[in-house]
């Protein structure tokens, strides 16, 4: 449950919609995530941990500026 809550919080900070998070984690619905215990050794757990690490790194780089973090994720390289 802790990993599921953490990845939901990370997705919220990054501005990801629930359907986007479900697509990233390769699950049917985020609603399933809240009732499931996400195993850190499963493929979905590993992806969740990576998303949390990305969020933590972006938070440190931007000083917690969520607008910049969301811009970073949605912008494409020139």
Question: What is the residue extent of each domain of the chain?
Answer: 2-62
The predicted pLDDT at position 9 comes to: 94
Rounded to 5°, angle at Cα 57 from 5 and 12: 35
Q: Average per-residue pLDDT in the chain?
A: 88
Predicted confidence (pLDDT) per residue in 5-39, tens digit: 999 999 999 999 989 998 999 888 777 666 667 88
């Amino acid at each position: 449950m802790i990993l599921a809550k953490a990845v939901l919080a990370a997705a919220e900070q990054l501005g990801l919609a629930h359907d986007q998070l479900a697509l990233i984690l390769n699950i049917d619905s985020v609603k399933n995530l809240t009732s499931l215990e996400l195993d850190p050794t499963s493929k979905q757990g590993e992806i969740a941990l990576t998303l949390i690490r990305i969020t933590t790194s972006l938070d440190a780089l931007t000083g917690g500026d969520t607008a910049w973090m969301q811009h970073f994720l949605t912008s494409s390289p020139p």
